[in-house]
Structure 1
């Protein structure tokens, strides 16, 4: 997540030729589309932009929606590669500019689902206010909690509530009020309840007698001001791997 449009989110100006399979793949992610915005349900394993894997990123796949003028949608924010769920794009430069300003103005409300372990956080709901700072370990960037007066401290706030729990794990709803890198992952780890599958921050790799397939974090909903003036909410159903682990741990809804 990013609190403001990153320089890394600049549009790729050179068109990319996509295969029919790639075009069908990205079009299959669409959960809302109009003249101003396209909302997508990004699968886990797909980099939003700038991934190191030699496959197209979501940003590059957006050429599937390019218009005859050569304009294509622009990412407004990002998700970590192994996080699934809602991503918003602006179809035009004015729409992308409007949405970027709304994001910087904290007018976006994001809702995530996560499976954490062991058991429910204590208390079962609350507000985490822990500043974060970035630290490099080799080529990898990590975020760590720090004192508010640390020179590199960034304010970070996350609301959470427990939706289901047993002695082994919990399903939690997370609502970030700021957008720091890895914020939800580090904040849940700070409570002693890292997100399952999060190798970087100590998440469980097996739960309910089965392996955790990936980072169990899903961007379930996004509420934002539409460029046309109304408030809009888009939702993305969790993927099969998330639902399968949730059902194994807590039973069917």
Structure 2
């Protein structure tokens, strides 16, 4: 996938803006790469406000291969208020995922600490997280929305509720319960696809095993309180993930 700086403005006020970020657009510049980023696009879009003293703070960061809602504060006051709600876990966040296998449960909560895999042993991937008793507290709720099959393999559409804000927590917890994301290049495998992509040697065979060019994770809903009002934004499943789900035989669906 090639990143382009295209995103949709969902809602906006003088203090904040909510956008829908596509995959594989990076949120911030990383590793010295010169590439389109959400931050760069926002700085261009809001140039007049920034010239007048505004300052952007991206509050709900997403991995480059995760799509969906991102909340950005336009000034320090909004950053403190909205960031405080996220830190206190009073903000509401929902993600939608497509995972391998059919869970034997319909709903469950995973309350397992995670840390960088390299802190617990050798790891070729610095970003990788893993469940470990010495890690930081981490809690994610899961609900199965549908079970379906595709080309003889079992998959599930999952709603995820991250109650903490740890790096990769949804992905690490899904791997821990045996249902990693479809298309995930780090979790659910030894990370061969991630290393191959990083070293520019991603082959058609590796891509075929992934089944999707990016991980099947989407930030679909976000809710906060602002100036005494409850605000909620939603963003439907993007076409690439919808096609993967809709082109299948449905086994079971929940409300």
Q: Pairwise mapping of residues 40-119 of structure 1 onto structure 2 (< 5 A)?
A: 40-52=19-31, 53-63=33-43, 64-66=45-47, 67=49, 68-118=51-101
> Structure 1 residues 170 and 99, CA, compared in 2 at 3 Å: closer, same or farther?
same
- What residue number does 1:156 align with? 138
Alignment check: 8 A CA contact 2:182 2:211 kept:
no
TM-score by length of structure 1 reads 0.80
Kindly state the Cα deviation for residue 247 of structure 1 after the two structures are TM-superposed: 0.6
TM-score by length of structure 2 reads 0.79
Q: What is the number of equivalent residue pairs in this alignment? A: 220
Contiguous gaps of at least 5 residues in structure 1: 1-20
Kindly state the Cα deviation for residue 229 of structure 1 after the two structures are TM-superposed: 2.1
In the alignment, structure 1 residue 236 sits paired with structure 2 residue 235: yes
SS of 1:174's partner is strand
> Structure 1 residues 69 and 242, CA, compared in 2 at 3 Å: closer, same or farther?
same
Contiguous gaps of at least 5 residues in structure 2: 190-205
Pairing partner for 1:124 from 94, 106, 121:
106
Alignment check: 8 A CA contact 2:23 2:64 kept:
yes
Alignment check: 8 A CA contact 1:37 1:95 kept:
yes
> Structure 1 residues 198 and 106, CA, compared in 2 at 3 Å: closer, same or farther?
same
Alignment check: 8 A CA contact 1:62 1:72 kept:
no
In the alignment, structure 1 residue 213 sits paired with structure 2 residue 213: yes
Question: Partners of 2:104 and 2:224 in 1: how far apart?
Answer: 31
Alignment check: 8 A CA contact 1:59 1:74 kept:
no
Kindly state the Cα deviation for residue 97 of structure 1 after the two structures are TM-superposed: 1.7
Kindly state the Cα deviation for residue 131 of structure 1 after the two structures are TM-superposed: 1.0
What value does the CA root-mean-square deviation take over the aligned residues?
A: 2.3
Kindly state the Cα deviation for residue 138 of structure 1 after the two structures are TM-superposed: 4.7
Question: Partners of 1:163 and 1:242 in 2: how far apart?
Answer: 14
- Bigger shift: residues 131-140 or 238-247: 131-140
